[in-house]
Amino acid sequence: MNRISPSKPVVWTGYNFAYLDEQTKRMVRRALLKALAIPGYQVAFGGREMPLAYGWGTGAIQVTASIIGPRDRLKVIDQGSDDATNAASIRRFFRSVTGVETTASALDATIVQTRHRIPETPLRENQVLVYQVPSPEPLRKIEPRESETRKMHAYAEYGPMLLTLYEDIARYGRVASAYNCPVIVNERYLASPSPIPKFDNPKLSHSPAIQLFGAGREKRIYAIPPYTSVRSLDFEDFPFEPSRPDGRCSLCGSETSYLEEVIMDDVGGRMFVCSDTDYCRRRREGKGEGPVRAARAKA
Amino acid sequence: MDAISNSASRTALLEASGVSKSYGARIGCIDVSVTVGAGEVLGVVGESGSGKSTLMKCLSGQIVPDKGAVIYRGNDRKPVDVFSLSEMERRRLRRTDWGFVHQNPLDGLHINVSAGGNVGEALMSRGVRNYGSIRASAQDWLERLEIDPSRVDDRARSFSGGMLQRLQVARNLVAAPRLVFMDEPTGGLDASVQARLLDVLRTLVRELAVAVIIVTHDLAVVRLLADRLIVMHRGRVIEEGLTDQVLDDPHEPYTQLLVSSVLQI
Amino acid sequence: MAHVAINGGEEAILKSQTLVAEQRRGDVAVPEITLAQIASQLGLAVDRVMSEGSLYDRDLAALALKQAQGDALEAIFLLRAYRTTLPRIAASEPIDTSTMTVRRRVSATFKDVPGGQVLGATYDYTHRLLDFALSETADDAPRADVSAEPLDARMPSALDPLVSDGLIEEEIRSDAEAYDLTREPLCLPAGRDQRLQNLARGDEGFLLGLAYSSARGYGSVHPFVGELRAGEVTIQITPEELGFPIDIADIGVTECQMINQLHADPDDLPRFTRGYGLAFGHCERKTIAMALVDRAMRAAEFGEKVEHPAQNEEFVLSHSDSVEASGFVSHFKLPHYVDFQAETRLLRELRARARSEGEGEPSS
């Protein structure tokens, strides 16, 4: 028997295309179709154990594995970066079990699997964005019982969720959450956008791309079909504000992209760079990402 | 059920007929029929174990009786049998038409949430999405319940027992319910605190014309608040009538005993 | 470049994995451990990995343990992930533990039971003294005496007399298809089939702690081990084309039948209640804990107040799985730059706001 050599990423033999057997893929696809038919509704699915740990993207991996075909081009990002270790690990997994082409370019990819960011480059029709979701239930913080949160969704009882926003404003003068800010999908279901910064929330709405959300440990799938309204929870007099760090990217000069803080030394020196490494690289190379799309920034 | 929805009591808001509930060999309530009109305050009195709490739970749809029906007539709605409603309809009713004041305010409040949040939650549940107006309504209601409106952002846990109970009342009245169930609302309070709460309650109930079903063992409470009274003993209604009538001229020996024992205190 | 410290992720992963391989092999002066050695000499570890890995295969479990450097939870994870790729060929008939080839069988409730008490191999009465003789390999293997008389062929459950006297609740037989957590997600409220499958796959440490809590005061469990037995049972399947059951294998299992506190239905006589535990291989601690937690979770069914963690079905079932739990807990070491920095910025803003308010007006 050959050992799976860690140093040689090859296409594994002895496993089905994309690891999952076809029956399991069909089961996942059925869940995806249901999720697309009821935007924002969490569909329970028979999640399988994957060879990557729960919490590390197993839900999204099962979603990707169920929709990927030999001609797809896959991009995987973590915190906006293609080269983060977990993104690299997932990309390598899919290369090993599918042999498909992978890419860092959001323009070329047909499927983008992401953790914690939405690419700066606007997505198009015929692209699928697959989110890794650690905790799909936005109500879990206020109601630990699954049997109860299911009913709250069924009866659209979202008053208690609004109450948490109310309390933030009463205490801090504003809504005190900066990421994973819950949204109402298609004016019906409350959903978690996954832990993306609230800067990214507006990109969820009316996107031409299909957005799929996979939570492996909790065994839930939900979706936002193309061109669907997604409203971030807020009050009329305290409207949702997608904020970004002030300043411009030290590398590409973007003033509208989402920036990541990099600590330069131990005496407070820091700089800001684009968290989306593909977008930043293409701007530096002068490839088409000229005046970036208007994100509502403080400028 | 047809008979009930007929002429006899067209103005009744809630109407129970032949409600019986037992727990194995232990009796909860037997064959209770009772009506509450819109804006009417009905007192249910009796000692502990008399079946008044079981009756309250049946009337409010929290437990299903072994026999009998409870009909509710909401605004613009056909009479509905509370037990034939789907869970969704029942929850909606509880959210929109009904209020619940528990004996222990902690059962009806979020202790770590501000007074404004506690009061305003019902508005948010009904889709109000303006922070300023929610907070203003909450302040208005705090004031009506004689709580300093500047405490609107203070968390409930910093309030005294009497204030918590008034906060619970405010939380229940803010969304203008048509019927409020109160279970021993003055239960754990000191006499002076009780008196203040009763005073506020009496004014508000008249002003809002909200119907109330109030369960208590304390005859002083019903004398002050209730228009009508039913007296329960061993699961049955043994006497009913206008509050003053029943308390001043009780017919049943048990009621006489109840009234006289109170008068001695 | 400083800002892309994580860059080169793919290459770093490959190097890290080579390092793992090197550390796994350890000192090359020491012979490499064989799967046969693990399977035969670390049998209890193999049993646990098979049970919680939901796959009865001693060789694969031994491989998983070798690959995981003996880390049971990592080995369980490996086996579960492999299990995902296996086709399901058939569902077996329910096993019948009354036909078990018993290696060990004890009852704490009856001194003598039909079939007798069988002490078998147990650590219970060993003194926990490090046996330095084991530091050296021995030439001659220890051999236990074999009894001249075979055990009773029939070994009915020690609880049977209680059943015939009506002193304990009947076992509920059902021909309904059992819920399968490996195919369907946990569905709450859960039936007993879901619960028992969840517990059988559940982390031994978690169940042990819960069981302990329930018996120590955070629960109302008053248990007696009615019977604990371990041995081999036959697995049968009924192929559609045959229409009758055929034996396909023998597997080792441990079963615990727990007798618990009384319950009286309003219109019936009081009876003892049951808790049940069963798992692959020899794992008494696990099955006793399982039986205790099973009974604790039945609190609502018997009208007992649900107030402690072990009685709370959602709490227990949602947190028992070591693969789910360890994945989620360890995912916190993944990068969270985006959310952490968003949170930090918010904190700075809130602090600035609070500070400027403090300066602007005297606090009232």
pLDDT at C102 over 90: yes
By C-alpha distance, the chain C residue nearest B24 is: C266
* Count of other CB atoms within 10 angstroms of residue A34: 16
- Which of C73, C84, C44, C76 has the alpha carbon at shortest distance from C60? C76
Distance between CA atoms of A77 and A83, rounded to whole angstroms? 7
**C189 shares a domain with C59:** no
- Res. A288 pLDDT band, cuts 50 70 90: low
Distance between CA atoms of C28 and C30, rounded to whole angstroms? 5
Give the one of A44, A79, A176 whose C-beta lies nearest to C335's C-beta. A79
- Which of C150, C162, C165 has the alpha carbon at shortest distance from C226? C162
Higher-pLDDT residue of A112, B60: A112
- Which of A258, A241, A245 has the alpha carbon at shortest distance from A169? A241
**A178 shares a domain with A279:** no
What is the ipTM, given to two decimal places? 0.86
DSSP letters spanning C3-60: GGTT-SHHHHHHHHHHHHHHHHH--TTSPPPPHHHHHHHSHHHHHHHHHHHT---HHH
Residue C266 forms contact with B (CB below 8 Å): yes
In a domain, A62, yes or no: yes
In a domain, A7, yes or no: no
Give the one of A53, A177, A245 whose C-beta lies nearest to C327's C-beta. A53
Specify the pLDDT at position A290. Answer: 54
**A53 shares a domain with A118:** yes
Q: Active site residue: A40, A57, A214, A216, which one?
A: A40
Cβ atoms of C77 and A41 within 8 Å: the answer is no
pLDDT at C7 over 60: no
For residue C213, give both structure tokens: 């809590």
Taking the CA of residue B120 and the nearest CA in chain A, the distance in Å comes to 8
- Decide: helix, strand or coil at residue B254: helix
Q: What is the mean pLDDT of residues C314-332?
A: 95
Specify the pLDDT at position A78. Answer: 94
- Res. C185 pLDDT band, cuts 50 70 90: very high
Lowest pLDDT segment from A17-26, A228-237, C47-56, C215-224? C215-224
**C321 shares a domain with C235:** yes
Mean pLDDT across chain B = 88
For residue B73, give both structure tokens: 């007539």
Residues of chain A neighbouring C185 (CB-CB closer than 8 A): 44-47, 219-220
pLDDT at B147 over 60: yes
Cβ atoms of C258 and C224 within 8 Å: the answer is yes
Q: What is the DSSP letter of C135?
A: G
**C106 shares a domain with C67:** no
Specify the pLDDT at position C229. Answer: 97
What's the pLDDT tens digit per position in B72-100?
987 766 888 988 888 888 888 888 899 99
Domain count, chain C: 2
Q: Do residue C345 and residue A178 have CB atoms under 8 angstroms apart?
A: yes
Q: Active site residue: A55, A159, A280, A288, which one?
A: A280
Q: Do residue A49 and residue C21 have CB atoms under 8 angstroms apart?
A: no
For C30, the domain range is: 10-83
In a domain, C332, yes or no: no
In a domain, A253, yes or no: no
* Count of other CB atoms within 10 angstroms of residue A181: 23
**C186 shares a domain with C60:** no
- Res. C267 pLDDT band, cuts 50 70 90: low
In a domain, C343, yes or no: no
Residue B23 forms contact with C (CB below 8 Å): yes
Residues of chain A neighbouring B96 (CB-CB closer than 8 A): none
Length of chain B (residues): 265
pLDDT at B5 over 50: no
By C-alpha distance, the chain C residue nearest B150 is: C364
Taking the CA of residue C253 and the nearest CA in chain A, the distance in Å comes to 24
Distance between CA atoms of B173 and B122, rounded to whole angstroms? 9
Specify the pLDDT at position A17. Answer: 94
Distance between CA atoms of B83 and B62, rounded to whole angstroms? 9
| CB half-sphere exposure, A120, CA atoms < 13 A | 29
In a domain, C221, yes or no: yes
**A50 shares a domain with A86:** yes
Cβ-count burial B23-44 (b if 16+ within 10 Å, e if not): eeeebbbbebebbbbebbbbbb
What's the pLDDT tens digit per position in C191-245?
999 999 999 999 999 999 999 999 888 987 789 999 999 999 999 999 989 999 9
- Decide: helix, strand or coil at residue C96: coil
**C300 shares a domain with C255:** yes
Mean pLDDT across chain C = 90
- Res. C88 pLDDT band, cuts 50 70 90: confident
What does each C-alpha distance from A291 to A205, A208, B204 come to in angstroms? Answer: 21, 20, 62
Q: What is the mean pLDDT of residues C23-32?
A: 96
Specify the pLDDT at position B58. Answer: 92
**C104 shares a domain with C67:** no
pLDDT at B229 over 90: yes
Q: What is the mean pLDDT of residues A120-133?
A: 97
Beta strands at B67-72 and A43-44: parallel, antiparallel or unpaired? unpaired
In a domain, A12, yes or no: no
pLDDT at B9 over 80: no
pTM for this one?
A: 0.83
- Which of B72, B55, B64 has the alpha carbon at shortest distance from B13? B72
pLDDT at A102 over 70: yes
In a domain, A151, yes or no: no
Give the one of B110, B125, B131 whose C-beta lies nearest to A235's C-beta. B131
Domain count, chain A: 2
| CB half-sphere exposure, C154, CA atoms < 13 A | 3
In a domain, C233, yes or no: yes
pLDDT at C172 over 50: yes
**A224 shares a domain with A182:** yes
Residue bearing tokens 């990109």? A203
Higher-pLDDT residue of B261, A289: B261
Give residues with Cβ within 8 angstroms of C209, minimum separation 6: none
What's the pLDDT tens digit per position in B165-185?
999 999 999 989 999 999 999
In a domain, C330, yes or no: no
Q: pLDDT > 90: what percent of chain C?
A: 61
For A203, the domain range is: 22-140+167-232
Residue C205 C-alpha from the chain's centroid: 8
**C168 shares a domain with C32:** no
In a domain, C4, yes or no: no
Active site residue A181: no
**A291 shares a domain with A172:** no
Taking the CA of residue C301 and the nearest CA in chain A, the distance in Å comes to 17
Chains near B (3 or more Cβ pairs under 8 Å): A, C
Q: Active site residue: A99, A249, A269, A288, which one?
A: A249
**C110 shares a domain with C46:** no
> In 3-state terms, chain A is what percent helix, strand and coil (to 5)?
25, 20, 55
pLDDT at C364 over 80: no
What's the pLDDT tens digit per position in B100-146?
999 999 999 999 999 999 999 999 998 899 999 999 999 999 999 99
Q: What is the mean pLDDT of residues A215-230?
A: 97
* Count of other CB atoms within 10 angstroms of residue A135: 17
Specify the pLDDT at position A296. Answer: 35
Cβ atoms of B16 and B33 within 8 Å: the answer is yes
Specify the pLDDT at position A270. Answer: 85
Higher-pLDDT residue of C4, A161: A161
What's the pLDDT tens digit per position in B17-47?
999 998 877 888 999 999 999 899 999 998 8
What ranges in B177-252 are assigned the alpha helix state H? 191-208, 219-225, 243-248
Specify the pLDDT at position A152. Answer: 94
**C309 shares a domain with C244:** yes
Strands, E assignment, C72-179:
101-106
Interface probe with A: pick from B95, B110, B125, B152, most Cβ of A within 10 Å? B125
**C78 shares a domain with C101:** no
**C116 shares a domain with C262:** yes
**A291 shares a domain with A174:** no
Q: What's the one-letter identity of residue C186?
A: L
In a domain, A6, yes or no: no
Distance between CA atoms of A222 and A212, rounded to whole angstroms? 6
Query: Highest mean pLDDT: which of B248-257, C316-325, C341-350?
Result: C316-325
pLDDT at C183 over 70: yes
CATH of the domain at A119: 3.40.50.11310
Cβ atoms of A243 and A87 within 8 Å: the answer is no
- Res. B264 pLDDT band, cuts 50 70 90: very low
